[in-house]
Structure 1
Amino acid sequence: MTTVLTTLLRMYRPTLLWFAGFLVVGVTVIDAVVGRFAEQPFSLWMFVAGSAVKYWLGVVGVTLVAVNLRQFVAAGITRRDFIAGGLLFGVLLAVAFALFVPVGHGFEYALRGGADGVPTDYPQWSPGVAVSEFGHILPSCLAYLVAGAAASAGFYRFGAWGGLPLLVPALVPVAASEGLLGLGDNGEVLTRFLPYSAALAVCLLVTVLGVVLYHRELRHVAIRSAPMG
C-alpha cells in the first residue's frame, strides 16, 4: 500500500502543481480585472476553486481505475494493495484541496481589502469561517473522488451496458453532498435540509457505501491488457 501511495503521489505531483497554480493565477487575474470595472459581491475564488477541486478529484477517481489499475497490477501490485493505496492517496488529495480552498478564500479576502474593502454581501472570511468551509468542502471532495472511482470501476468490470445501472448508486455521494452541503449565491457555504452534523453523517455514510461498491467491483476484476500500437 505504501508503494502505491508514494508512486501515485510522484505520478500526479506535476499535474497537481499545475492545476493549483492555474487556479491561483487565473482567479487572481480575473478578480483584479473585474474589480476595476465593477464591485462584485461574490467570491470568485469560492465559486471557481470550490467547484474545480471537486471535479478534478472526480477525474482522479476515474483515472485511478481506467489508467492506473492496469499499470500497477502489471508491475506486480495486488488489487487489494492498489485499492487501499489508491483510496489513501485520494483521501490525502481531498484533505489537501479542502484546505486549499478556504486558504485561497483568505488570500482573496485580503487582496480585496478585508472587511473594509469588500461589499456587504461578499462572504466574510475568518479562521472560524475557514474551518466551516473546510468542513463543507471535504465531504464533497471525498464524494466526487469515490463517485468517479466507483462509476469507472463499474464500466471497467461490466462494460458499457452493465456499468450503466451502477452509475446511479455510484453518484449518490455526489447528490448527497451537493444537496446537503453546498454554496450560496455569493460563494458562502450552506447547510440545507438538515443540521450540519446530520448532513455530514449522511454524506460520509453514502460515501463509505460508495467505497464498498468500488471495492466489490474491483476485487476480482480481470485486468485488461494495454491496447497495441
Structure 2
Amino acid sequence: MSVLESLRAHTRRQHEALHVHPLLKGLSDDSLTLEDFYDILLAFNAAYAAPEPNLHKVFPDAPNAPVRDWLARDLKRHGLTPLRPLLKAPRFHTPSRLMGYLYVKQGSTLGGHVISRHLRDHLSLEPHVDQHFFAGYGVATGVQWRRFMTALDAYASELNEAELLSAAADAFDHIRAACDAVLAARQTRATPLLAVAEPMAAHGV
C-alpha cells in the first residue's frame, strides 16, 4: 500500500464525518445560506488559527497553502470578526506529524475547488473576489496537489508512518471540533451574523 493509500484508508472515517457535519453539509447541497457560509469561515479560521503559527518549514519543496491569508481576506471582505480561541490544537511538531497535517490541508484545496463553484452558483460568491479560502489556488489547484504528492513520495522513507497517520487523523478531528464549537455557539447567538457583518464591497457598498 502506498503512503497516499495508507493516509486515505486511515482517515476515511474522519474525512467522511466532515462531509455530513451539520455545519458543512450545505457545501454540497442547496441548503446553504449566507449565514451558513459565514459560520463555516469562522470555523475554519478557528481551526487553522491554532496550529498554523507554530509550523516549521521542514519541507521547502512541498506546497504549504496560505490558508490563514485566504481566510483573513474572506473575513475582511464580509466584515466578520474572528472568534476568540476555541480550541487547543494538536501538536504537529515532528516532520512526520507535520507531513500528516499538510496532507489534510493540501488535500482540502481539492475539495475547496469544487465547493468554490458551488458558492458561485448558489450564493453568487465570486472566486477570489467574494471567497478566497475555498477558491484557494484556483486553476493551479491540480498542479499544487501534484507538487505535494511528489514531496510526499520523496520524503516517505524518512517518515514515521504511525506519526504521519495519527497526525492526519488529528487534523481532521481538529477541524470537526472547530465546526462543533461554532455550531454550538450558533445555537446561543442572540444576533444573526447577517445583522452584524459588513456589506460586501463586491456589491458596491
TM-score past 0.5 threshold: no
Larger radius of gyration: 1
TM-score (norm 1): 0.30
Richer in helix (by share): 1
